[in-house]
């Protein structure tokens, strides 16, 4: 079972790369794709979604590209996953919109709920800034 889908993985690679550089830096999408080993067409689609969610900013023109819309310390892995994949759910029964007739008696649901909360908190505390500190990209742009 994949928890983090390929789309989230690719987007996070690109965002972490961007977080390795000074605030306001504009990146050509093809350069990001090359450096993080992601297909540029796929990355472009992902960045369009991230742009609509105000995680990145699209810059048009000859000096165009993408930049981070927020401080990397304020962009969490949880936020990116939820933008691209939807809410983090281990099972449908943990979705607040779904009502299971076994909710009050199900021992599995209780344990899954605890694990889901810990998972959400884990990804919610993990910011791009923290991940960028550990990256090995050369800062040669």
CATH of the domain at 23: 1.10.10.10
Residue 77: inside a domain, yes or no?
Answer: yes
Side-chain-side CA neighbours of residue 111 (13 Å): 3
Residue 140 confidence (pLDDT) above 60: no
Answer with the residue of higher pLDDT: 115 or 90: 115
Percent of the chain with pLDDT over 90: 69
pLDDT tops 70 at residue 139: no
pLDDT recorded at residue 72: 97
Q: Which DSSP symbol is given to 127? A: B
pLDDT average, residue stretch 40-46? 96
Give the domain range for residue 72: 6-87+128-134
**pLDDT (mean) for 16-36:** 95
Q: Is the pTM of this model over 0.85?
A: yes
User: Is 123 inside any structural domain?
Assistant: no
């Amino acid at each position: 079972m994949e928890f983090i889908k390929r789309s989230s993985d690719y987007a996070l690679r690109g965002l972490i790369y961007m977080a390795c550089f000074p605030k306001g830096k504009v990146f050509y999408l093809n350069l990001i794709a090359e450096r993080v080993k992601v297909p540029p067409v796929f990355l472009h689609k992902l960045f369009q979604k991230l742009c609509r969610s105000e995680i990145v900013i699209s810059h048009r023109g000859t000096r165009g590209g993408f930049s981070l819309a927020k401080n990397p310390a304020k962009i969490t892995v949880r936020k990116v996953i939820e933008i691209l994949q939807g809410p983090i759910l281990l099972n449908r029964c943990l979705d607040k919109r779904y009502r299971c007739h076994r909710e009050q008696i199900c021992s599995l649901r209780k344990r899954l709920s605890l694990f889901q909360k810990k998972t959400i908190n884990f990804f919610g505390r993990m910011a791009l800034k923290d991940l960028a500190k550990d990256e090995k990209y050369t800062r040669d742009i």
